[in-house]
Amino acid sequence: MPIHQPPRYQQLADELSRQIRQGILQPGEAVLSVRRACQVFDVSPVTITQAYYLLESQGLIEARPRSGYYVRTRLPQVLNAPAMTAPTTDAAELEVSDFIFQILDSVKDPVFLPLGSSFPDPALFPLEKLGQHLAKAARHLTPMDTVAHLSPGHEGLRRQIALRYLAQGASVSPSDIIVVSGAMEGLNLCLQAVTRPGDVVAIESPAFYAGLQAIERLGLKAIEIPTHPHEGVNIPALAAALQKHPVKACLFMLNFQNPMGGVVPRANRQALLALLRQYDVPLIEDDVYAELHFPDALPVCTKQDDPTRQVMHVSSFSKSLAPGYRIGWVAAGKYAEKVRRLKLATSLATSIPVQMGLAAYLQSGGFDNHLRHLRQQLMRQAEQMMNSLSRYFPVGTRVAVPTGGYFLWVELPEGHDALAIHQRALAQGISVAPGPIFSARGGYAHCLRLNFGHTHLSPAGDSIEKLSRLLG
Amino acid sequence: MPIHQPPRYQQLADELSRQIRQGILQPGEAVLSVRRACQVFDVSPVTITQAYYLLESQGLIEARPRSGYYVRTRLPQVLNAPAMTAPTTDAAELEVSDFIFQILDSVKDPVFLPLGSSFPDPALFPLEKLGQHLAKAARHLTPMDTVAHLSPGHEGLRRQIALRYLAQGASVSPSDIIVVSGAMEGLNLCLQAVTRPGDVVAIESPAFYAGLQAIERLGLKAIEIPTHPHEGVNIPALAAALQKHPVKACLFMLNFQNPMGGVVPRANRQALLALLRQYDVPLIEDDVYAELHFPDALPVCTKQDDPTRQVMHVSSFSKSLAPGYRIGWVAAGKYAEKVRRLKLATSLATSIPVQMGLAAYLQSGGFDNHLRHLRQQLMRQAEQMMNSLSRYFPVGTRVAVPTGGYFLWVELPEGHDALAIHQRALAQGISVAPGPIFSARGGYAHCLRLNFGHTHLSPAGDSIEKLSRLLG
């Protein structure tokens, strides 16, 4: 495999990151202005900006309006970030464990402390307001509506979704958007649209277990690509995989990846897309957490840089607005007609009164206001849990500092056994998501994914302290 | 292949059927009482009852309360019924045509006369009443509801479904029922639960095209079994297929089969299940039309005779109550946990406010009253269309007399080309469902499936006359 020489901005970011971690740059201190840094490091302003953006997305520095960048004070610095992962990279058929279903079932039991849950805390959402809009839509549903909004779906809803892309700098036609019953249906449809049983799909390592399950269920083979929490998949490693295997699709998460939580910088995405264009391989992007960025940390919309429409962008309202409503969508680019037909053939349509109710809510304009509160709340909860981890978890624990979503990816010191912790915790009424469920081969034996979205059930300090006593 | 000697009751029914068709028994005349027939034919009352039941399900005789059986007057007798089909019976990979999507898309266009539609006329349903219940559920949705009703689904709804089985003489536990987003999702989940890509699945010939599509999409092979409109699949032919091929599942419709419309008698189902038990092969039964039986023609519930729980019974409310809501279910017998996990892994849950709204409607008790009206209406429309067909369609046309559902399966005299008719009709604003889409190999070139559920758009006479001028 060729040796990967990181770009200049990344070398710079690494250098500053080291200075911050070693305490050379102290929390609260200003970093060099862009102009000054250009002189000091003899590089262009673009390079400095990219480096600072990367450090910001890693949660190490923060922008203060009209003042410049500062080393972050709010997140504990005693926890180090995990490094690039190193999975084996031959294609494999998968076996999915019972652990996933144990965790999913524990979520339904209100007695459990759902640190292992994949869901956001449903108490965070405007269910009453949504209900009013759904109620109105339900009362006014006409017979013609029940056929007019068959797939690709309700036009008003697709237009609202297209408007959100526009706000993120991407132009997506409503006719490329297919409404689906949640992002998981969307991922399944995308995979089916571009693969046949036996084909190879590239995934991140670690990766969201539902993606792994979908790959298994469709008789596909997964090839795991080394992935950095804040840089995304290793491009040279992916290039090698594309060369070696007949990869038919990539299934990646580029914003607040589940489980690791990072945001892949725009430059890396452009490199990724350029590589995939070369092999004419579609990128199936699972982007369900994009709206959950912390107030100052904007995610990136890959659809900005997709002139060949090879990105199949999958998202939903389940994490950002309407859990339980089961409304998602796919902006499927050049594969849109294929996905629409598959949707029509597999489940015909997504519940039509629900589509209409959601469209009416979005038109009413309440979404952005709700998101502002939600983002504040999630950031506060992340900080609480980070603080508790640094207080109660063993020395040597590494955590990727999140800038959005509601997961922390925790690498315990080697020797800890996440599956054993999972079983002990379950017996004590706590669910956790053990690392091995995020890999086709059961790696990440000493890792846990923790959900910081549910702290109203128990203060983060209490639940993390309780969990720390079960680490063994 | 062994020669199939039909059971005694069937020989009797065939004999009476011939007498009716030849005019020996005239419309409106009473047939022999059960007691008298026992003496005349020297058989048991059970055999007579089975024979009469079969004739009733074929639409040839009808029961009049407290008076006995009479030859039906209402349906035209000039049209003969189609015979047993004769597909080739080697396993095949499928190719699905664009015709299906042309028809599906034409349904959305209110300008089209939807004789080819697979949907019931949405004007036939209590959308306003349903909307009131959904509205109430939406306004009262709590955060805990959004996780508590994850798959298998809302408990109150599953209990209501179990109660309907009970009314049909079948005992199904709510814990065996999984709520799904329409029957098509249910069929897909059932197929995935019991097959792997490359496996062989037995289907009827002709069969519903969505089932054929699902088989193709999952990388399975279909083997088509000869099927009689009112008798179901030929048991000896199925036995031969089971012996020859490693069949992993049967995908059949036993009530108002789409497209042929018959009801398979209980005795035939028992024979079918006995055979499948012998090979430990599950029966995936698509039973979405069961509630649409005409007033006097009861369907049969296969779950009555399923002690080994090998029937995966798939149904939905889309045809009987709530089009567009996308609520179905699977009573998956011994495969219930497998199906539940698959549902959880592929789409997590069915829209939760919609489940709650439907449960509330069913609890309110309005369903049976709605069904009474719907069944009357559909029978009237069937009779109108049958009359028009016998008036306008060419001599030699055969039609299976339906006793429920909303389809007529029309065999035109040999030489007619259904695909050409489809294209000519589409150009004239009429959709039809051409026979070849109901087979993996494009048989049934001279057959059409016509939907008689939409006659409010245009009197049956008018649309059938218009269509008759396009037969070529």
Which of B145, B210, B217 has its CB closest to that of A324? B145
Average pLDDT, chain B: 89
pLDDT at A77: 42
- φ/ψ of residue A118, rounded to 5: -90, -5
pLDDT at B1: 38
B243 in Cβ contact with B222 (< 8 Å): no
Residues β-bridged to residue B430: B113
CA distance B126 to chain A (A): 10
A192 in Cβ contact with A343 (< 8 Å): no
Bridging pattern class, strands B407-411 and B430-431:
unpaired
B87 in Cβ contact with B441 (< 8 Å): yes
Q: Which DSSP category does A58 fall into?
A: T
- φ/ψ of residue B404, rounded to 5: 175, 180
pLDDT at B3: 46
**What span, in angstroms and rounded, lies between the C-alpha atoms of A394 and A306?**
44
pLDDT tens readout for residues A288-345: 999 999 987 888 999 999 999 999 999 999 999 999 999 999 999 999 999 999 999 8
A333 in Cβ contact with B310 (< 8 Å): no
Return the closest-CA partner of residue B48 out of B64, B32, B61, B60. Answer: B32
* Amino acid at the residue B323: P
Q: Which DSSP category does B187 fall into?
A: H
| Count of other CB atoms within 10 angstroms of residue A110 | 10
The helix (run of H) or strand (run of E) holding residue B147 is helix B145-148
Chain B hits for A218, CB-CB cut-off 8 Å, are 197
pLDDT tens readout for residues B262-273: 899 999 999 999
Which residues 301-320 of A have a C-beta within 8 angstroms of B? none
The helix (run of H) or strand (run of E) holding residue B131 is helix B127-140
A175 in Cβ contact with A162 (< 8 Å): no
CB contact under 8 A, A101 and B344: yes
* Amino acid at the residue B225: I
CB contact under 8 A, A210 and B345: yes
Could you tell me which chain B residue has the CA closest to the CA of A148? B108
Return the closest-CA partner of residue B215 out of B286, B268, B319, B311. Answer: B286
pLDDT at A470: 95
pLDDT at A18 over 80: no
Which residues lie closer than 8 Å to B409 by C-beta, 6 or more apart?
B82, B206, B229, B259, B260, B261, B399, B400, B447, B448, B449
SS3 content of chain B, % helix, strand, coil (to 5): 45, 15, 40
B210 in contact with A, Cβ within 8 Å: yes
pLDDT at B76 over 60: no
CA distance B214 to chain A (A): 7
Strand order across the B311-316 sheet: B177-180, B328-331, B311-316, B283-286, B247-252, B200-205, B221-228, B232-233
B263 in Cβ contact with B234 (< 8 Å): no
CB contact under 8 A, A184 and B121: no
B323 in contact with A, Cβ within 8 Å: yes
Best A117, A189, A314, A351 residue to mutate vs chain B (most B CBs within 10 Å): A351
Which residues 235-274 of B have a C-beta within 8 angstroms of A? none
Return the closest-CA partner of residue A368 out of A320, A408, A431. Answer: A320
**What span, in angstroms and rounded, lies between the C-alpha atoms of A4 and A54?**
18
CB contact under 8 A, B324 and A119: no
CA distance A385 to chain B (A): 22
**What span, in angstroms and rounded, lies between the C-alpha atoms of B285 and B312?**
6
Which of B96, B123, B181 has its CB closest to that of A143? B123
Which of B121, B198, B350 has its CB closest to that of A326? B350
Return the closest-CA partner of residue B186 out of B221, B210, B222. Answer: B210
Q: Which range, A2-6, A64-68, B403-407, is most confident?
A: B403-407
Q: Which long-range contacts (CB under 8 A, 24 or more apart) does B161-168 make?
A: B161/B329, B161/B331, B165/B301, B165/B303, B165/B331, B168/B290, B168/B301, B168/B303, B168/B304
HSE-up of residue A455 (Cα within 13 Å, Cβ side): 21
Confidence of residue B95 (pLDDT cuts 50, 70, 90): low
pLDDT at A411: 94
The pair of structure tokens assigned to A374 is 């939600």
Which of A101, A132, A347 has its CB closest to that of B181? A347
Residue predicted with more confidence, A6 or A93: A6
Residues β-bridged to residue B283: B250, B311
pLDDT at B295 over 70: yes
Could you tell me which chain A residue has the CA closest to the CA of B208? A345
CB contact under 8 A, B150 and A108: yes
pLDDT at B100 over 90: no
| Residue written as token pair 């296969």 | B302
A344 in contact with B, Cβ within 8 Å: yes
CB contact under 8 A, B324 and A353: yes
**What span, in angstroms and rounded, lies between the C-alpha atoms of B161 and B202?**
28
Average pLDDT score over residue span B70-91: 69
* Amino acid at the residue B409: W
pLDDT at A79: 63
CB contact under 8 A, B326 and A347: yes
**What span, in angstroms and rounded, lies between the C-alpha atoms of B320 and B322?**
7
| Residue written as token pair 């409106």 | B28
Average pLDDT score over residue span B253-282: 95
What's CA A110's distance to the chain center, in Å?
A: 25
Average pLDDT score over residue span A41-54: 86
pLDDT at A153: 97
Residues β-bridged to residue A108: none
Average pLDDT score over residue span B13-18: 82
ipTM score: 0.83
Estimate the crossing angle of helix B183-194 against helix A336-347, to 10 degrees: 90
pLDDT at A24: 72
Best B93, B155, B346, B457 residue to mutate vs chain A (most A CBs within 10 Å): B346
Confidence of residue A7 (pLDDT cuts 50, 70, 90): confident
Could you tell me which chain B residue has the CA closest to the CA of A196? B219
Confidence of residue A74 (pLDDT cuts 50, 70, 90): low
CB contact under 8 A, B132 and A138: yes
Could you tell me which chain A residue has the CA closest to the CA of B192? A217
Average pLDDT score over residue span B321-334: 97
pLDDT at B77: 42
pLDDT at B63: 81
Bridging pattern class, strands B430-431 and B328-331:
unpaired
The pair of structure tokens assigned to A53 is 């953006």
A273 in Cβ contact with A235 (< 8 Å): no
Average pLDDT score over residue span A153-180: 95
- φ/ψ of residue B431, rounded to 5: -100, 145
Q: Is A63 exposed, middle or buried (0-12, 13-18, 19+ CB in 10 A)?
A: middle
